[in-house]
Amino acid sequence: MANLTLAIDDEVLRRARIRALEQGTSVNALLREYLDSYSGMRAERMRAKESFFAIMRNAKLGPRDWTRDDLHDRESLR
């Protein structure tokens, strides 16, 4: 991940930090989110997620022949 240096008015940064704290986040996280959105990365990730979920919805899964206990059975591993 790259670092970015910005020149921002002290008062603007102070107010942004206060507002970010009130929202339970940081100025860094807000700027990262904004740049993701601005660059189109967020939309790209959303399309990828939607595509994945569509594939999963349409997947032809056979009958499940195992139980949770089967998956966690340690005796058969010995």
In 1-78, alpha helices (H)? 10-22, 27-39, 41-58, 68-71
Question: What digits encode the pLDDT tens for the residues 29-62?
Answer: 999 999 988 888 778 888 899 999 888 888 877 7
pLDDT category, 77, cuts 50, 70, 90? low
pLDDT band at 78; cut points 50, 70, 90: low
Q: Is the pTM of this model over 0.85?
A: no
pLDDT the model gives residue 67:
84
Q: How far apart (Å, rounded) are the C-alpha atoms in residues 74 and 65? A: 18
φ and ψ of 40, to 5 deg: 90, 0
